[in-house]
A and B are shown apart, each in its own frame.
Chain A
Amino acid sequence: MDEALVGSMLASTLRVSTPLIFCALAGLFSERSGVVDIGLEGKMLLAAFAAGAVGASSGSTWLALLAAIGVAVSMSWVHGLACVSHKGDQVVSGVAINIIAVGLTAVLGAAWFHQGGQTPPVGPEVRISALMPGLAQAARVLPVLGTVLGDGLLGHNALVYLALALVPLVWWVVFRTRFGLRLRAVGENPQMVDAAGVSVMRLRYTALTLNGVLCGLAGSYLVLAQSAMFSPNMTAGRGFMALAALIFGRWHPVKALWACLLFGFLDAAAIRLQGVHLPGIGEVPVQAIQALPYVLTVVLLAGFIGKSVAPKSLGVPYSKER
Chain B
Amino acid sequence: MNTLPRWADLVLLPAVSLLVALLAAGGVVALVGQDPLEVIQVLVHGAFGTARGISYTLYYATTFVFTGLAVAVAFHGGLFNIGGEGQAVMGGLGTGLVALWWSAFLPAWLMLPIMMVSGALFGLAWAAVPGYLQAYRGSHVVITTIMFNFIASTVLVYVLVNHLRPKGSMSVESAPFAASAKMPGVHEALGAIGIDWPSSPLNLSVMLALLAALAVYFFLWRTRAGYRLRAVGSSPSAAEYAGVRAHRQVLVAMSISGALAGLVGMNEVAGVSGKLMLEFVSGAGFTGIAVALMGRNHPLGIVLASLLFGALFQGGAEVAFEVQGFSRDMVVMLQGFIVLFSGAMTYVIAPILARLLGWVSKPFASKTTSGAAHG
B330 in contact with A301 (CB, 8 Å): no
B151 in contact with A291 (CB, 8 Å): yes
Distance in Å from the Cβ of A30 to the closest Cβ of chain B?
Answer: 14
Which of A81, A85, A107, A243 is close to B146, meaning CB atoms less than 8 Å apart? A243
Check if B143 is an interface residue, CB within 8 A of chain A. yes
B337 in contact with A100 (CB, 8 Å): yes
A111 in contact with B325 (CB, 8 Å): yes
B340 in contact with A93 (CB, 8 Å): yes
| Segment touching B, from A164-172, A190-198, A282-290 | A282-290
Closest residue of chain B to A301 (Cβ to Cβ) is: B139
Check if B155 is an interface residue, CB within 8 A of chain A. yes
Which of B147, B331, B332, B343 is close to A89, meaning CB atoms less than 8 Å apart? B343
A83 in contact with B327 (CB, 8 Å): no
In the bound complex, CA of A297 to CA of B345 (Å): 30
Give residues 87-121 of A contacting B (CB, 8 Å): 87-89, 91-93, 95-104, 106-108, 110-112, 114, 117
Distance in Å from the Cβ of B32 to the closest Cβ of chain A?
Answer: 4
Which of B80, B133, B162, B286 is close to A298, meaning CB atoms less than 8 Å apart? B133
B329 in contact with A86 (CB, 8 Å): no
In the bound complex, CA of A92 to CA of B289 (Å): 8
In the bound complex, CA of A290 to CA of B80 (Å): 25
Check if A316 is an interface residue, CB within 8 A of chain B. no
A303 in contact with B139 (CB, 8 Å): yes
Check if B333 is an interface residue, CB within 8 A of chain A. yes
Which of A88, A89, A114, A117 is close to B329, meaning CB atoms less than 8 Å apart? A117
In the bound complex, CA of A95 to CA of B149 (Å): 14
Q: Which of A103, A112, A295 has the most CB of B within 10 A?
A: A103
Q: How many A-B pairs with Cβ below 8 Å?
A: 158
Give residues 242-274 of A contacting B (CB, 8 Å): 243-244, 247
Closest residue of chain B to A82 (Cβ to Cβ) is: B344
B333 in contact with A107 (CB, 8 Å): yes
Q: Mark B146-168, 1 if CB is under 8 A from A, else 0.
A: 11101100110110011000000
Check if B144 is an interface residue, CB within 8 A of chain A. yes
Q: Which residues of B contact A81 (CB under 8 A)?
A: 345, 348
Interface residues on A, range: 35 or more
B345 in contact with A102 (CB, 8 Å): no
Check if B183 is an interface residue, CB within 8 A of chain A. no
Check if A201 is an interface residue, CB within 8 A of chain B. no
In the bound complex, CA of A290 to CA of B333 (Å): 28
B155 in contact with A287 (CB, 8 Å): yes
In the bound complex, CA of A291 to CA of B344 (Å): 30
Q: Which of A99, A101, A285, A295 has the most CB of B within 10 A?
A: A99
Q: Mark B128-144, 1 if CB is under 8 A from A, else 0.
A: 00000100011110111
Q: Which residues of B contact A100 (CB under 8 A)?
A: 333, 336-337, 340
Distance in Å from the Cβ of A131 to the closest Cβ of chain B?
Answer: 33
A106-B327, A110-B329, A237-B150 known; A83+B344 contact, CB < 8 A: yes
Which of A87, A98, A295 is close to B151, meaning CB atoms less than 8 Å apart? A295
Q: Which of B138, B139, B286, B332 has the most CB of A within 10 A?
A: B139
Interface size of B by CB at 8 A reads 48
In the bound complex, CA of A202 to CA of B82 (Å): 29
Distance in Å from the Cβ of A22 to the closest Cβ of chain B?
Answer: 19
Closest residue of chain A to B347 (Cβ to Cβ) is: A86
Check if B33 is an interface residue, CB within 8 A of chain A. yes
Q: Which of A87, A89, A107, A112 has the most CB of B within 10 A?
A: A107
A301 in contact with B151 (CB, 8 Å): no
Distance in Å from the Cβ of A74 to the closest Cβ of chain B?
Answer: 13
Q: Which residues of B contact A183 (CB under 8 A)?
A: none
Give residues 310-350 of B contacting A (CB, 8 Å): 325, 327, 329-337, 339-340, 343-348
Distance in Å from the Cβ of B323 to the closest Cβ of chain A?
Answer: 11
Q: Which residues of B contact A243 (CB under 8 A)?
A: 143, 146
Q: Mark A189-216, 1 if CB is under 8 A from B, else 0.
A: 0000000000000000000000000000
Distance in Å from the Cβ of B9 to the closest Cβ of chain A?
Answer: 16
A110 in contact with B332 (CB, 8 Å): no
Check if A128 is an interface residue, CB within 8 A of chain B. no
Check if B18 is an interface residue, CB within 8 A of chain A. no
A91 in contact with B336 (CB, 8 Å): no
In the bound complex, CA of A186 to CA of B150 (Å): 32
A99 in contact with B151 (CB, 8 Å): no
Distance in Å from the Cβ of B289 to the closest Cβ of chain A?
Answer: 6
Distance in Å from the Cβ of A303 to the closest Cβ of chain B?
Answer: 5
Closest residue of chain A to B136 (Cβ to Cβ) is: A302
Q: Which residues of B contact A38 (CB under 8 A)?
A: 82, 142, 146
Closest residue of chain A to B129 (Cβ to Cβ) is: A298
Nearest 8 A-B pairs (CB), nearest first?
A: A103-B333, A100-B336, A99-B336, A103-B332, A301-B139, A93-B344, A111-B32, A106-B329
Q: Enumerate 28 A-B pairs (CB-CB under 8 Å) in ascending A order.
A: A38-B82, A78-B340, A81-B345, A82-B340, A86-B345, A88-B343, A88-B344, A88-B348, A93-B344, A95-B289, A98-B336, A100-B336, A102-B336, A103-B332, A103-B336, A104-B28, A104-B333, A110-B329, A117-B329, A232-B329, A237-B150, A240-B146, A285-B162, A287-B158, A291-B154, A301-B137, A302-B137, A303-B138
Beyond contacts A86-B348, A100-B336, A110-B329: 15 other A-B pairs, Cβ-Cβ < 8 A, are A83-B344, A86-B347, A96-B336, A97-B336, A97-B340, A102-B336, A104-B336, A107-B28, A237-B150, A240-B146, A243-B143, A302-B144, A303-B137, A303-B139, A310-B140
